[in-house]
Structure 1
Amino acid sequence: MKFFIDTANLDEIAEAKSWGCLAGVTTNPSLYAKTGGKLADFEGHMSKIAELCAGLPVSAEATSEDAEAMVAEGRRLAALAPNIVVKLPICEAGLAATRTLADEGVRVNMTLVFSAPQALLAANAGARYISPFVGRFDDLGEDGVSQLADVIACIGNYDWSGKNVDDTVEIIAASIRTPHHVTQAALLGADIATVPFAALKKCVHHPLTDRGLEGFKADWNKVIAGA
């Protein structure tokens, strides 16, 4: 399973990339707003992320509400850099825009997916990536992992050749909150987990690892002291 980072913060992206295991970036309007970014700077900021992660897919989300405007905005975003993926919400307009953009060779990441039927519609419309959300189900006391399992199973039942730009559909487990979500997504066979920086750092660390490092350091200091 590949790791994307779910953020628009350049410093977070740069640090995660330095670990050598980053495969892409996803952003959304809320994440951009958290950076304090302004409307006039949005496309420039997406270009900076794309440059920082050259060769890796970077999802930039369109905010238009009708299909025609989504297509126009998607074309602008895709023109910013060759690794930009246009992110669109699952809805009637989003599906129509996805079909048009995919037919033009633009990769689309369909987001806010909460059910298998939505995922199947997205794949048929030409989405290159489909982003079912996990954590938001948990917020409601429901099982987001089981919903993710349904999406993965349904998409995996079919050959999507000819539907989109790259003749494949990848499932991005989104709204990841914990390392447990990452584990469950991997066990289910999700292609990608897009993880906020704080949760990604939690995936690196474990109390027993930290304790082991402290023990090694203490023992090595004894060796140094006795030299």
Structure 2
Amino acid sequence: MESQLDQLKKITTVVADTGDIEAIRTFKPVDATTNPSLLLKAAGLADYAPLLTDAKSWAQAQGGDNQAMLSNMTDRFAVSIGREILNIIPGRISTEVDARLSFDTQATTDRARKLIAMYEEQGISKDRILIKIASTWEGIEAARQLEKDGINCNLTLLFTFAQAAACAEAGAYLISPFVGRILDWYKANTEEQDYSGLNDPGVKSVSRIYNYFKAHNYDTIVMGASFRNIGEIQALAGCDRLTIAPALMQELSDTDADLIQQLNAAQARSDDEKVIFEESSFRWGLNEDAMATEKLAQGIRAFAVDQVKLETLLSKQ
């Protein structure tokens, strides 16, 4: 009997949610994603010590004020990690723009182009990179511009239908709707505690988005993210892509029960009419969803904190 991880790979593109190269070698995903929190963890691994030193030296050589050098250090480290990962996966790496730029469209597009240029300097073409951007209105507008320039984007920190629909209309290459963080909010803010299987609110959210995209013929890829248990992954089997942490990939690898496909593009049906959000209606839709409003803000703050921690760590090298 095949493991559930192997079964999943036949119907869903499996993506590694880690910066740990050894874990990526072990589980052989197609793509990989990183973020400031994962890069901070990677910076603590002995294998990456030379990359930390290189990042600081490179940034010092570029010159500029203190913040410019800190930004250059973290971007260089992110690109170096991405390059190492791309050496062992066949697909793409997602590299995130500084979360502190989440409400500045121009700054986001500028940083995205800088990251692409840094990859190209290392011989890596832009068709192997996804630029990760928070799914704020400003971030979605940045993605709209970048996609027109052939720079593909991964819209992250996505918690609600309004964000997803706006991303699809903007032509985003891929979205990362979060599952586990939605579950966390419902467990903390509602009396209901039986959120197993298809009753999981994060699973319901991703399923709704997936079916809406397929029913209305959007090309935007749906990649479920932020899982708390393999039950959530099993409930989304068949989704375009799922980005999974090493511990959960190991659990799936150790499980050999039949995996039932839950999502299927050919059978997708949606109760949602096609909707196009303007800025005001987008902001209202986000505002009306307390969970999404709180989790988006919380996620941006958390990534910004880890970005500063990473800058501090690199500056001490």
TM-score normalised by the chain length of structure 2: 0.58
| Residue of structure 2 equivalent to 1:42 | 78
Return 5+ residue gaps in structure 2 as ranges: 1-11, 45-51, 53-73, 188-199, 258-317
| Residue of structure 1 equivalent to 2:202 | 144
Matched, 1:153 2:204: no
Inter-CA distance 207–52: structure 2 relative to 1 (3 Å threshold): closer
Q: Distance in 2 between matches of 1:120 and 1:130?
A: 10
| Residue of structure 2 equivalent to 1:2 | 13
| Contact kept? 1:176, 1:193, Cα under 8 Å | no
Matched, 1:92 2:162: no
Which residue of the other structure, out of 34, 39, 44, is the alignment partner of 1:27? 34
Inter-CA distance 101–207: structure 2 relative to 1 (3 Å threshold): closer
Q: Distance in 1 between matches of 2:130 and 2:155?
A: 10
| Residue of structure 1 equivalent to 2:254 | 205
Deviation at 1:41, TM superposition (A): 2.2
Query: Runs in 1 of length 4+ with deviation above 3 angstroms?
Result: none
Correspondence 1:1-227 to 2 at 5 A: 1-17=12-28, 22-36=29-43, 39=74, 40-53=76-89, 55-63=90-98, 64-65=101-102, 66-79=104-117, 80=119, 81-82=124-125, 83-140=128-185, 141=187, 143-160=201-218, 168-186=219-237, 189-206=238-255
More helix by share: 2
Identity of aligned residues (%): 28
Per-residue CA shift, 1:19-54, capped at 9, x if unaligned? xxx22111111111111265252222222222332x
Inter-CA distance 207–125: structure 2 relative to 1 (3 Å threshold): closer
- DSSP 3-state at the match of 2:236: helix
Higher relative contact order (CA closer than 8 Å, sequence separation 6+): 2
Q: Distance in 2 between matches of 1:118 and 1:41?
A: 30
Output the amino acid matched with 2:208: D
| Contact kept? 2:176, 2:222, Cα under 8 Å | yes
Output the amino acid matched with 1:48: E
| Contact kept? 2:78, 2:95, Cα under 8 Å | no
- DSSP 3-state at the match of 2:43: coil
Return 5+ residue gaps in structure 1 as ranges: 161-167, 209-227
- DSSP 3-state at the match of 1:49: helix
Per-residue CA shift, 1:51-95, capped at 9, x if unaligned? 332x40111111133211211221122341231111111012201
| Contact kept? 1:178, 1:202, Cα under 8 Å | no
What is the number of residues matched between the two proteins? 194
Deviation at 1:7, TM superposition (A): 0.5
Q: Distance in 2 between matches of 1:104 and 1:207?
A: 44
Q: Distance in 2 between matches of 1:68 and 1:101?
A: 11
Q: Distance in 1 between matches of 2:88 and 2:82?
A: 10
RMSD over aligned CA atoms reads 1.8
- DSSP 3-state at the match of 1:149: helix
